[in-house]
Amino acid sequence: MSPTLVVALALIAVPLLSIAAIRWQRGLVMALPFFAILNGLAVPVGASSIRVDQLAACLLLAPLAASVLIGARRLRADSTAWMLVAVLAINVIASAVNSPAPSYSLLQCVNLATVWVIYFVIINFLDTREQAERFLRRCVQAAIIASAIGIGAYVLAIAGFDAGGAEVSKASIEHLTKAYGAYGAMVEPNIFGSFTAAHLVLAIALLTLVARTPSPAIPARMLTWLAALSAIGLLLSFTRAAWLGAAAGAVLYLLLGGRALGFRVRLPRLLIQLTLGSLVVVIVALAAGSGGTQLRLKLLNLVNLESPTAALRLASYAVALQQVLGHPIMGSGTYSFAALVAGGADFQHFDGWRNLWIGDYLLLALHDTGIIGLIAWLGLLWTSLAGGVRAARATRETDPFLAGRAIALTAAVATLLIPYLATTGFSLGFTWVLIGLLGVYRRLSIAAPAPAPLPRPIPQEGLTSPQPLPQ
């Protein structure tokens, strides 16, 4: 398709889609969690492609801008939003000034902006507690569907019916050409593992809060399905970093819940659940076939930095650290690693150039945006996570429902930070769906009414203390 035809179609389609977004904005917002689980399916647009969640978020800017201009709503931007704007600005400046392929880097800045705008859409369109709870229900339903798709794809692939959504070939095990495991409608097993890990922690957290703060919008049965399917999906992703992230996220929730919410964990019940989960892992690990072999390999090399995949990542990270020395303050530009490795050649014509990337989000921020960008990224994460903890503590006594939601989402978002050290997903929509929902509950917690002061005793005039009778 010629560029002229693409532009002509865009000029026709964008106004029509914007009008549709204004008409059905509420339904489009509530559909974002379902769009976000389709990050492995992109819509081709000329020589590029765009994901459905990106397209939906960009279209929702039309009703958002319209409502702000006519005074129907006020544009919300919390501390996390401002830090996100700062991160994007640093990426643009570094790409324009230092990138060896500025046009490519600036195009990637646009790509990131169309994903990060999801955060702004969520914090601006979810106004009330009821809307936030309905959106959280959609997130739970979408995670159940995504986990089921990944599990189904893996079972079909093992049975010999390759319908996509899982990689079980011998080449992925023997030659490490592709990541082994289930991924469903997502990009790859690492991303699927990160997604299921975060939603497993979210399900565990919400289940522990059902007795204290029940929600008619999200019944316990739905959360049980999410916990079961996300746990199986996490196992079948064969992603060690995601396994570690889920364990760390669950421990973090127990610690934060104990301090911020003041509840105690029932150890017998927890130990029974952990024992049953461990038995499932052992059974799969001892089973015959490629799945059992791969699981045993992953478990035996859980934190082995000398394993083939870990060694490959460390080698690329060493090259990236050498490149950081070129522009340590502002960085080399967005996704400039492949261009720098190519040494000035057109890297996009190389076979496998998409594999030349930095998986660690901290090293990626340092490489692309320098020390300034890394500080901004750390500030963004701090405002989101620390803000969630503060919101829970502030509403612990006055509104335990909001406090529980804030802590559960804080633990789920924190879970992503460990697997994203191996394969970052901050360029994907489901990450910002969770962070945006945490921002909504933070705002609702701040707006929650303060506890009413105890009434003071009203002095009554004319009453004196009794005098002793004369003797």
The pLDDT of residue 263: 64
Q: Is residue 103 part of a domain?
A: yes
Give the angle 68-74-78 at the CA atoms, nearest 5°. Answer: 125
- What is residue 337's predicted lDDT score, i.e. its pLDDT? 87
Domain tally for the chain? Answer: 1
C-beta of residue 301 within 8 angstroms of C-beta of residue 307? yes
Q: Which domain holds residue 181?
A: 79-447
User: 462 — phi, psi (to 5°)?
Assistant: 90, -5
**Residues making up the chain, counted from first to last:** 471
> How far apart (Å, rounded) are the C-alpha atoms in residues 405 and 133?
9
Residue 13 lies in a domain: no
**DSSP state, residue 164:** S
Residue 21 belongs to some domain of the structure:
no
What does R_g of the chain's alpha carbons equal in angstroms? 25
Helix residue ranges per DSSP H, 126-261? 129-158, 170-174, 189-209, 220-237, 240-256
46 within a domain of the structure (yes/no): no
Residue 43 lies in a domain: no
pLDDT of residue 7: 46
Dmax over CA atoms of the chain, in Å, equals 115
The contacts of residue 76 (CB under 8 Å, 6+ apart) are 123, 124, 443
Q: How far apart are CA 351 and CA 177, in angstroms?
A: 13
Would you state the pLDDT for residue 452? 47
In a domain, 110, yes or no: yes
**Pure H helices in 325-360:** 337-342
Is 185 within a domain?
yes
- Judge whether 87 lies within some domain: yes
Give this prediction's pTM. 0.85
Question: What does each of the 471 residues of the chain score in pLDDT, given as a tens digit?
Answer: 455 544 444 445 556 556 666 667 888 999 999 999 999 888 766 556 789 999 999 889 888 888 888 888 889 999 999 999 999 999 999 999 999 989 989 999 999 999 999 999 999 999 999 999 999 999 999 999 999 999 999 889 888 888 888 888 776 665 556 788 889 999 999 999 999 999 999 999 998 888 777 778 899 899 999 998 999 899 888 888 899 999 999 989 988 877 767 666 555 555 565 566 656 655 665 554 566 666 656 655 655 555 566 666 777 778 888 889 889 999 999 998 888 887 755 555 555 555 677 889 999 999 999 999 999 999 999 999 999 999 998 888 888 889 999 999 999 999 999 999 989 999 999 999 999 999 999 999 887 665 544 455 555 444 444 444 444
